[in-house]
Amino acid sequence: MRINHLFQALVLATTFIFTSCIKDEAENNEADIEMANIGKEFLLTAPIVSNDKVTFRVSKSLDLTKVAPEFKLTPGATIVPANGSARDFSNGPLTYEVFSESKQWSKTYKVEFINAEISTIYHFDKFREVAGGFYGNDYYHVFYETQLDDATHEEKELFEWASGNIGYAMTDGSEENAKKPENFPTAATTEGFIGTGLKLTTQSTAPLGPIMGSPLAAGNLFLGEFDLSTAVSKPLKGTKFGMDFNYEPTILRGFFKYKRGDNFEINNTEKNKITEDRWDAYAILFEAGIDDFLFGDHDFKDDKIVSIARIPKELKIETNTWTLFEIPFEYVEGKTYDANKKYKLALVFSSSEEGSLFNGAIGSTLYIDEVEILKN
Partner 1 sequence: MKFKHLSIILLGITSLFTSAQEVNTPIKKTNFFTENTTVQLRSQFSIGGASPLGLPREIRAIKSYNPTLQLGIETNFTKWFSAEHKWGIRTGLRVEGKGMKTESRVKDYLTQINYNGSQVKGNFTGEVRTEVRNTYLTIPLLATYNINKQWGVYGGLYFSTAIDKAFGGHVHNGYLRQTNPTGQKLIFEGDKKAEYDFSNEVNNFQWGTQLGAEWKLNNNFLLFGDLTYGFNSLLDNDFEAISFSMHNIYLNIGFGYQF
Q: Catalog residues that contact partner 1 under the rule CB under 8 A.
A: 7, 10-11, 14-15, 18-19, 21-26, 28-32, 51, 100, 104-107, 133-135, 170-174, 205, 207-209, 211-212, 228-230, 232-234
Nearest distance, CB of residue 14 and partner 1, angstroms: 7
Nearest distance, CB of residue 18 and partner 1, angstroms: 5
CA 2: distance to chain centroid?
61
Nearest to 361 by CA among 255, 243, 278: 278
Residue 165 vs 189, nearer CB to partner 1: 165
Residue 146 vs 230, nearer CB to partner 1: 230
Residue 100 vs 165, nearer CB to partner 1: 100
How many CB atoms within 10 Å of residue 342? 15
Question: DSSP readout, 315-376?
Answer: G---EEEEEEEEEE-EEPTT----TTS-EEEEEEEESSTTGGGT-EETT-EEEEEEEEEEE-
Cα dihedral 177, 143, 236, 287 in deg (nearest 10) = 180
Nearest distance, CB of residue 30 and partner 1, angstroms: 5
Nearest to 162 by CA among 178, 180, 185, 183: 185
DSSP 67: B
Residue 174 vs 319, nearer CB to partner 1: 174
Nearest distance, CB of residue 107 and partner 1, angstroms: 4
Nearest distance, CB of residue 298 and partner 1, angstroms: 20
DSSP 214: -
Residue 238 vs 249, nearer CB to partner 1: 238
Residue 17 vs 339, nearer CB to partner 1: 17
Nearest to 119 by CA among 144, 89, 85, 141: 144
Residue 106 vs 246, nearer CB to partner 1: 106
DSSP 22: P
Nearest distance, CB of residue 114 and partner 1, angstroms: 23
Nearest distance, CB of residue 134 and partner 1, angstroms: 4
Cβ distance 358 to 260 under 8 Å?
A: no
Provide the residue type at 188 as one letter.
A
